[in-house]
Amino acid sequence: MMSNVREILITREELNKKVKELGAIISKDYKGQELMLIGVLKGGFVFLADLIREITIDIDLDFMSVSSYGSSTKSSGVVRIIKDIETNIQEKHILIVEDIVDTGLTINYLKGIIMARGPKSVKVCAMLDKPSKRKTNIELDYKGIEIPDEFVIGYGLDYDGKFRNLPDLCILDSVAYQK
C-alpha cells in the first residue's frame, strides 16, 4: 500500500490540531442555534467523525453521497447524487462538511440543491482546499488547510476506491496513474 505514497503532505497530528480549531469555532458560531451537519460521502467521513467530536453544542447529522471522479484524478464536472439526506431541513442551519474542494463544482452543486430546500442558512466546511483549479467562486465558510495542486490520498480520501484508511494525508505517487 505504501508504495503508492510519494510523501506525507500533512501529518495526522497537524490534521488533528486543525480539526480541533474548526470544532471550537463552529461550536461558538452556532451556539443556541439548531445546527445540522450534512456529511458528504464517501471522502468526508473521516473528517466528519473527527469534527463532530470537537463540537460541543447539540447537532443533528445526515449524509449525502455523490459521485466525483470515478477512477480518474481529474474533475469531470459531472456530479451525481447517489444518496440523499433523509431529514426535513427547513427549520435548521445547515453546515455541509466536505473533505476537499478542488474545482468547487461538487460543493457548488450540493449547496444549490440544499439551499433550494429552504433551510435557515447553508454554510460550507471543507478540511482541505486546493484553490489552484477552482472553477467556481464558492465561499468556504470554514476551511482547514490549503494544499498545492497535488492528488492527495488518506484521511478519508481515495484514489480508485483505495487508500482512505491512511491516517496521514499523503501525495499519490504519479506512477500510480496517468496524468
169-172 β-sheet, strand order:
5-10, 169-172, 152-153
Is residue 102 flagged as an active site residue?
yes
CB of residue 76 to ligand IMP, shortest distance in Å: 9
The residue from 50, 99, 102, 129 that is catalytic is 102
In degrees and rounded to multiples of 5, residue 50 shows phi and psi of: -70, -45
Alpha carbon distance, N-terminus to C-terminus of the chain: 20
Per-residue CA distances from 119 to 35, 123, 142, 159 (Å)? 10, 11, 19, 34
Cβ distance to ligand IMP smaller for residue 55 or 157: 157
Among 105, 124, 125, 127, binds ligand IMP (CB under 6 A): 105
Alpha helices in the chain (DSSP H): 12-29, 45-52, 105-115
Q: Nearest approach, Cβ of 169 to ligand IMP (angstroms)? A: 9
Query: How far apart, in whole angstroms, are the C-alpha atoms of residue 133 and residue 73?
Result: 13
Whole-number minimum distance, CB 32 to ligand IMP, in Å?
31
* Stretch near ligand IMP under the rule CB under 6 A, chosen from 8-16, 21-29, 54-62, 92-100: 92-100
Binding test (CB under 6 A) with ligand IMP, winner from 69, 141, 164, 168 = 69
Of 129-158, binders to ligand IMP (CB under 6 A) are 130, 151-152, 157
Q: Among residues 57 and 140, whose Cβ is nearest to ligand IMP? A: 140
| DSSP-derived 3-state class of residue 145 | strand
Q: Can you give the binding site for ligand IMP, defined by CB under 6 A?
A: 43, 68-69, 75, 98-106, 130, 151-152, 157
